[in-house]
Structure 1
């Protein structure tokens, strides 16, 4: 392929990423990921911040995972400081898909507590993937401060993140299950039930947890084992 042809092809792909048709944008992201070139990293990252279509965003992330981490990681870490919530959320999502543990220091406490639920959820998922073994307990403690936050999807994301950390979460859950806030107790109890029986389903765990909390602390303690 001549350099002129290659330049025209690159130009077409960049233009297609901004096309009005989501199908055209999806095809452009697929083409870039199929034949990854480091020169596309900036346009892919920039598009992630503003892309409205979920499936296109997912394809953009896939294309970024096809590039060398030494090219993508600095760009993604920079996005974590963006004032745009989608930029932060999508960068976190992409970091979790790349799975390079060197990105762990970029998962800051402020991201884990981000005011935007979607950013916080992405941070929880990324943290669980990237956390070193020696910091899993500390992460569990940090995540537990978010018990009772948000709607069903937010709470489910937090529960799944904690369950994914393994046995290190048990002391944290025991503490939260005796918290003075009934919403925290119910969420922690549902998480414990989900940990013990992942097939039970979150909604059933929540319903059971609410019944336990309604019966009072003594009953909670007796049914937590």
Structure 2
């Protein structure tokens, strides 16, 4: 009787994930995460690729973290090759939350330089979480190739990722401060200033960087 009830609840929750109502989908994802079932993993991952509501996507990610990584990892890694940008982005986001280092080899330069900003941002965050000890400097060099990219939120995400690497970011960041492209120099300088004084905020650091670049210097302290 118990097994039948559990099966009925699972079936109801999975159907709820297909509802037109975002609140119903949110409750369904919560239900699946509250009572993890290996049979739900494929449905959860598949739903992440198409779910339009941010809060529901976050709940789907949470539900996946409640399952064994041995079950979720292969399915999520497969999504990194999807033609759907949201599938790649959400899989990367979920991998960063799971934090299983076995996913590191799949966080490729291609993903970190993806043409879609959301995919790239998710890849940066996942890379910083998953990078093995001793490989931080190499990761910083890849991340530095994206300096100057996108709008405010994209640039802030990249700055945070670089800062999270600590001193390992310094050589790549200093090299970027002498880049011939002004927008790259500005972003590099702003990142260094934010690292030195996080309380000042990103926008202040950007304005200071613009001033420094306009003066024709690179902002590096001797």
Q: With structure 1 as the length reference, what TM-score do the two structures score?
A: 0.96
CA distance in 1, matches of 2:141, 2:37: 40
C-alpha RMSD of matched pairs (Å): 1.0
1:189–1:224 Cα contact (<8 Å) kept? no
Paired position in structure 2 for 1:198 = 198
Q: Give matches, 1:29-40, under 5 Å.
A: 29-40=29-40
Matched with 2:168 is: 168
8 Å CA contact 1:17, 1:29 repeated in 2: yes
Counterpart CA distance in 2 for 1:197 and 1:91 is 33
What residue is the counterpart of 2:110 in the other structure? 110
- Once the two structures are superposed, residues 25-84 of structure 1 have per-residue CA deviations (whole angstroms, 9 ceiling, x without a partner) of 000110111111111000000000000000000000000000000000000000000000
Pairwise CA distance, 1:2 = 3.7
CA distance in 2, matches of 1:78, 1:190: 36
For 1:22, the equivalent position in structure 2 comes to 22
Instruction: Give the CA deviation at 1:8.
Output: 2.2
Equivalent pairs counted in the alignment come to 222
- Where structure 2 has 5 or more consecutive residues not aligned to the other structure, the ranges are none
> Which runs of at least 4 in structure 1 moved beyond 6 Å after TM superposition?
none
CA distance in 2, matches of 1:11, 1:33: 14
TM-score by length of 2: 0.97
Shift of 1:208: 0.3
Q: Take 1:31 and 1:9, find their aligned partners in 2: how far apart are those partners? A: 9
Q: 1:7, 1:133 → 2: CA distance?
A: 43
Q: Which runs of 5+ in 1 are unaligned?
A: none
**2:61 is aligned with 1:74:** no
Q: What's the counterpart of residue 95 of structure 1?
A: 95
